[in-house]
């Protein structure tokens, strides 16, 4: 099963702000690509559950808050922001 993934306009703007502020913008773009890929395949297996159908996931340098619509096989990324990474 493959889910459709849609990023809200707000999430896209937030992602672009994180990319613009990053020391390594390519690292943030790669994290966004990994998030998008995984949400298409296994959205329930990523991150931590919140309210029913909502999840929070920190992938390396980027965090996302998203909603899973099982009936429509759709994932909507609602918010994106920087994740603090310990080095």
Percent of the chain exceeding pLDDT 70 equals: 97
Tokens 């849609």 found at: 6
Distances (CA, A) of 31 to 1, 13, 16, 82: 22, 16, 13, 11
CA dihedral 56, 41, 87, 54 (to 10 degrees): 0
CA–CA distance, 50 with 74 (Å, rounded to integer): 17
Q: What is the pLDDT of residue 86?
A: 46
Q: What is the pLDDT of residue 79?
A: 98
Q: For the domain bounded by 4-82, which CATH number is listed?
A: 3.30.2310.20
**Regions of the chain where pLDDT drops below 70:** 85-87
Sketch the domain layout of the chain as residue ranges: 4-82
The pLDDT value recorded for residue 60 is 86
CA distance 49 to 66: 10
What is the model's pLDDT at position 85?
62
């Amino acid at each position: 099963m493959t889910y459709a993934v849609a990023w809200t306009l707000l999430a896209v703007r937030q992602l672009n702000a994180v990319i613009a502020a990053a020391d390594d913008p390519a690292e943030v773009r790669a994290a966004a690509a990994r998030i998008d890929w995984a949400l298409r395949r296994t959205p329930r297996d990523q991150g931590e559950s919140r309210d029913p159908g909502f999840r929070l996931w920190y992938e390396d340098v980027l965090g996302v808050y998203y909603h899973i619509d099982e009936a429509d096989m759709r994932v909507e990324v609602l918010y994106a922001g920087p994740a603090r990474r310990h080095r």
